[in-house]
Amino acid sequence: MLSRLFDLVPRGLALLPPEEAHELTIKALELGVFPHEATPDHPALALNFAGLTLPNPVGIAAGFDKDARVPDAVLALGCGFAEVGTTTPLAQPGNPRPRLFRLRRDGAVINRLGFNNGGHQAALERLRRRAARGVVGVNIGANRDAEDRIGDYVKGIDAFYDVASYFTVNISSPNTPGLRDLQQPAALDPLLKRVMAARARLLEADKRRRPIVVKLSPDIAADELPEIVARLVAHDVDGIAVSNTTLARPGLSDPAAREPGGLSGCPLFHRSTVMLARIHEMTGGKTPLIGIGGIDSGAAALAKIEAGATLIQLYTGLIYEGPGLVRRIKDHLNAAVRSAKVAAITDLVGKDAKSWAAMRLDA
């Protein structure tokens, strides 16, 4: 009954401007006004990701909780893990408003927030106050005006090492000018060298190994992808997140499609899934992947897993479908495990990678 009521939430929030709707959502989560997951996850959904044990593979993508205000609420909602951030060393306001747009007709969102966040210190204090339960990753970025952008990622690793379950190195946001240049093969080497050296130094002192995930853009040209993936593998990253938002505008009908910024949601599903599958093929399935982009149903979540994702994350789907989507996805994944007569959801990872990888990126 109560969870049915929460299914009406997207309709109510749609009446508010998008940033106000988001703030209200975070406030509700802070206050505990959301459908708590009452049933433990089926053991078939449990998995290991880069040494971390998770009860299920479903998470909410970075940008939802930039300042680490609600990681425990995200977990209580039934997610298998939470990711906070992107956080930058110094607080920054982001781009001028309006900077967040709903494309209702396309099931999409365009954002040009530009890493608006309260900075490392504020997020760190919140993470320190929580009981260290559940997997909570920290997504780290660079300040817009940083002189040494790579240095900002190292600061993120240093600041959060004792409270982060894993790190996501976000070099794929389109809203900080020049940030995505860090994905160029020549730039990846110095970045990953310093990030991995920071992890090695902290590992020595702390003894707990924090996995490092690198989050990529879906706009990487197909012919540049193999070299980029080769560098990530050479530096021994623990995971690759595919993908961030796109600057492309594939067949949109909503008038807000003209707004500059990163597009997320349904129109991103195909491209991000093909790219995910190609990376799964390139790495021989040895590097675990986080599949992100346009997941708005149980079927879409299963398709991402079958294309090669060990974990999945969603954001835009939640805006249109409401918090009940997490439960519906898990029910669908459970049913898929039963009907495929396999032991666990991980048995389905990459099952369809070959056929997805062979598809055109811009179908």
Ligand X SMILES: Cc1cc2nc3c(=O)[nH]c(=O)nc-3n(C[C@H](O)[C@H](O)[C@H](O)COP(=O)(O)O)c2cc1C
Active site residues: 173
| Site of interaction with ligand X (CB under 6 A) | 61-63, 66, 86, 100, 109, 111, 113, 139, 170, 173, 215, 244-245, 264-265, 268, 292-295, 314-317
Q: Between residues 44 and 262, which has the closer beta carbon with respect to ligand X?
A: 262
Please identify, using beta-carbon distances, which residue of 25 and 346 lies nearer to ligand X: 25
In the complex, minimum distance from the CB of residue 43 to ligand X, in angstroms, rounded to a whole number? 27
Nearer to ligand X, 113 or 192 (CB): 113
Q: Is 51 left (phi over 0), alpha (psi -120 to 50) or beta?
A: left
Pick between residue 44 and residue 293 the one whose CB is nearest to ligand X.
Answer: 293
Q: What is the CA radius of gyration of the chain?
A: 19
CB of 362 to ligand X, least distance (A): 17
Distance CA 241, CA 214 (A): 6
Q: How far is the CB of 272 from ligand X (least distance, A)?
A: 7
Helices 266-282/225-234 angle, 10° precision: 60
For ligand X, give the closer residue by CB, 65 or 306: 65
Q: How near is the Cβ of 106 to ligand X at its closest, in Å?
A: 11
Angle at which helices 324-340 and 298-307 cross, to 10°:
60
Please check whether residue 84 is in contact with residue 64, taking contact to mean a CB–CB distance below 8 angstroms: no
Beta strands 100-103 and 81-87 are unpaired
Instruction: List the end-to-end C-alpha distance of the chain, in Å, as a whole number.
Output: 40
Rounded to the nearest whole angstrom, what is the least distance from the CB of residue 250 to ligand X in the complex? 13
Q: Which of 316, 276, 325 is nearest to 111 (CA)?
A: 316
To the nearest whole angstrom, how small is the minimum distance from the Cβ of residue 85 to ligand X? 6
Give phi and psi for 85, each to the nearest 5: 105, -175
Dig out the tokens for 96 from the structure: 């001028």
Between 62 and 229, name the residue whose CB sits nearer to ligand X: 62
Q: How far apart are CA 261 and CA 173, in angstroms?
A: 10
Closest by CA position to 56, among listed 329, 244, 294, 291: 329
Residues in the chain: 363
SS3 category, 293: coil
